[in-house]
Amino acid sequence: MRKIVIGAAAVATLLAAWLAPDQDGGVVGPAAATTREAAPASAAPAQIAASAPPADAVAATAPGADGIDLQIHPRVADDEMGNVFAKQSWAPETPKKIMMDQAQAQQAAQVANAPAGPPALPFQFMGRFTDEGKTAYFLQVDGQNVVARPGEKVNDSYLLDSVSGNTMNFVYLPLNQKQTLVVGDTN
């Protein structure tokens, strides 16, 4: 059975090669069709090829069948092609996605424009209170009184990290850098 299938495939290949059109009678591309139409019917193929301009020159300047100008433009950079493997979707972008993209762009711009170090501490130490072994620290920030304990956020940008002796250690959250505030002696 296997020999019959292989023999039939060989016969089919030979028939296809024998019945295939010659080189001159093959499929004609747009550039070659333009040159053959211009040549007289009695001209030999060698004469047509000799009198015709190069195929790439004709293809670059000849208008297409539907009047569209077919011009070849070299690619300047690979960036023009985009990312072929990027996630593609037919769904339109939602306003939420657009807003998230804008927020990410703003955050990136803020990080790029951020100063090299954290700003000066905006706190002023007002006092402390100890109750049942837990100490609360009173701070003044931009004219407002704030109560802070170690491990808590003081405002959106600072975290009271620890207190040791006469120093309060804060972490500036946007840059994750530590800052120290020196306070007076305990009474």
Whether residue 26 is predicted with pLDDT greater than 60 in this model: the reply is no
Q: pLDDT above 70 covers what percent of the chain?
A: 67
Structure-token pair, residue 113: 């424009």
Domain layout of the chain by residue ranges? 27-67, 123-182
Domain covering 123-182, topology: SH3 type barrels. (2.30.30)
Comparing 26-30, 88-92, 98-102, 110-114, which segment has the lowest mean pLDDT? 26-30
Spatial strand order of the sheet with 158-164 comes to 158-164, 167-172, 177-182
Tokens, residue 161: 């990290």
Residue 8 has pLDDT above 90, yes or no: yes
How much is the pTM? 0.39
Bridge partners for 147 per DSSP:
138
**Does the pLDDT at position 3 exceed 60?**
yes
Model confidence over 143-169: pLDDT tens digits? 889 999 999 998 888 999 999 888 999
How far apart are the C-alpha atoms of 3 and 17, rounded to whole Å? 21
Average pLDDT over residues 19-33: 60
Tell me the DSSP string of 24-82: TTSPPPHHHHHHHHHS-TTS-HHHHHHHSPPHHHHHHHSB-TTS-B--------GGGG-
Task: Output 130 or 76, whichever has higher pLDDT.
Answer: 130
Confidence of residue 171 (pLDDT cuts 50, 70, 90): very high
Q: Does position 11 have pLDDT exceeding 90, yes or no? A: yes
pLDDT at 14 over 50: yes
Q: Of 183 and 114, which is predicted with more confidence?
A: 183
Alpha-carbon torsion, ordered 117, 123, 127, 133, to 10 deg = -50
Q: How far is the CA of 159 from the CAs of 65, 75, 79, 139, in angstroms? A: 71, 53, 43, 13
Quick: pLDDT tens for 53-105.
554 544 444 555 566 767 887 766 666 567 777 777 787 778 888 888 899 99
Q: What is the rounded CA–CA span in Å between residue 133 and residue 110?
A: 41
Residue at token pair 């053959």: 36
Q: What is the mean pLDDT of the chain?
A: 76
